[in-house]
A and B are shown apart, each in its own frame.
Chain A
Amino acid sequence: MRALNKVRILALAVSLIWFPTLASAVAPVAVFPLQELGEGRNDANLPFTRILTERLTESGNKVIGLDTVISFMANNRIRILGRLDTFNISRVRNELGAAFILLGVVSQRKERPEPTFALTLSLVRTSDARTVWSYVGSVSTGEDRRVLGIGEPQSTEELQPLLLKEIREQWPWRIINEVQQSGSINIESVLVEPRNVRPGDEVRCRVRLRRNWFVDHAPRIFFKADKQLYPAVLSGDGSTYEGSWIAGEDNGRFPVALVLQWPLYGRTESTLLGSYMVDGTKPLLEVELPGVKMLGGIPVFPQQLVIAPHLLVRKVLSRWRLAFYYESGNLAGDMNGEGSLPKHFIWSGNGNYGRLEDGVYKVEVEVWDLAGNSAKDSKIVELNRSLPKVDLAVDQNDEGMVVDLAVPEGKVPLSSWRMEMWTKEGKILTQSEGKELPAKIGIKLPDSVEGKKQEIRGVLVLEDILGNRVRQKVEDLLPKLEKKAKEKAKEKADEKKPEGISESWVDEF
């Protein structure tokens, strides 16, 4: 029970807090000047109409001002009070935006012989021109007699509050709350473009309206953005309004509203159409080449290059471009994409027209955000697909022979090498390996078999620092060794000749 009471108190508090909001959301009521049946059929009782309007407003109704209604009547030449035809009811709905019209007649208002005040009210729903609520009230001093006559009303002015109280008690809140606030803005289609712009870019808006006002009472139409009004121009089709403006310097999201103004009635209606984002900041882009080997201060890759672009500040992208340029600056290849960047690209050294030669290239990534701000970053890389190579020299020494391994000049350094040599019969002569070159490997030559030297064969496995790996056979080294020995012997023989004497010169001489 206590919990139930708490809930009730909470509900009451919430309803009290929200009452003004709820009240402002009710459908608007246009109170027309009350007709007074006095001397004639078409007198007006404006003072009581104003009081009635005020009381209805105080009780939470959204009431269209009496001055606005009178302007409307003047503009539409409505001279008869107390009633409206369907055509004018429709006009009230379209031009004043009223969901209901309160019409009424003060049927009696006289001081003698007995102060009397009486009226009839009709609430007309403008959407279907149907009277949805009626009220007939009358009061006289004779009907409001009180004990000992204390506080009895003495005049029609003092009787009016009694009727106002009764009207307030009988006011059809349920019917009014059932009706959604009607507006004159009936949108068929709307387009705000572009949705993302840079400062200074043009923003365009186009809206197609189902016009429900009369041509002679057409409103002035504007687009409102960033607290500014921009006129909407009616296009040839008679129902599409277009406008454009320049986006301001400030970054941020700016709502766009459609504003309809009827200066004649001092009435303005607006509705939100959409929004656009102004963004003047460029994306912050950085390109990395993870895992790439540096050689001579430049990234070198043999087969595949991993290109990892990163946005330093997270941002939605509209498109991107990856391009490769020759050292000369000419385009070698490119590709484009929409939306976000891939986590990484893998470049296999191909261009727009196929496989590219080894060489130096520029890798460039460019991105555009939704507003069109662009940023790019690039890296210089070298494509090097050449296989590892060593210079192999053979020399003879006392024990056998020495194999001299060295990396030719300009080649990529090796990360490892391995050499194995064996005789024709399969006897291992050497198994050497290392990480650096040059290196000398001594090999003890096998004994001759039946006076004939045995063949020596082997394999050399090389891997450079880029990961290129090659395995090459080493042919019989003995012929090389013999050739080398002959060359050496010849050189020795040449050394015994006197110095400074050229054979050729002597012959010629």
Chain B
Amino acid sequence: MVRRILFGAVAVALVVLGAYAAFFVAPEERTMGDIQRIFYFHAATAWAGETAFFVCFLANLLYVWRRAAKYDWLGVACAEVGLACITVVLITGPIWAKPVWGIWWTWDARLTSTFVLWILYICYLLLRSLIEEPERRALLSALFGIFAFIDVPIVFGAIRWWRTQHPAPVIMGGEGSGLDPVMRKVFFLNVLAMHLLAAFLIVERYLLERAKGAIQDLQREAEAQ
């Protein structure tokens, strides 16, 4: 318990430090000005969400292969945390877009594929809430989770493959892209912070699902007696 509290405290402290660095350490961006400071939170949260979906995908594959409940618990934990991250991305993006583009939203490839990703993982969680029987729920949601993950590489590639309103990538964007060295450090500090926060929430959600599974087993045993 102490380790879990410590883990959470370190994650929150790093998130606060990341915000401090985004506001007071990172230099002002030349064309967009200060509004670009949202980038450190917006993009770092997007990366953390996509990592959570990747782990969810691995857990779904492992569940289909091994049929062990722990992979189902990990899958749902990662899906919920990933969904929380993408919700933040879909809120912070338009707040950044409005002063820069003059519009809150446009249906370009990056924004649309991100919105579809959000809908897909809502469906994943809805599907789970509709099936009573635990093994059937775990298998069907794992299969759906594997399908839903197809959108993650599309979100990643959208700004590389197509011309979009969304800015071109500044990290892993190839020739001509890149960040100022201080901006880069601040960005990766935020990436680390958001990944730690996501990991903390995944652990907490996993332990909750494990406890639920144990209770359901106990109830079944008690009812069988």
Whether both chains belong to one complex is answered with no
Chain B interfacial positions (CB closer than 8 Å to A): none
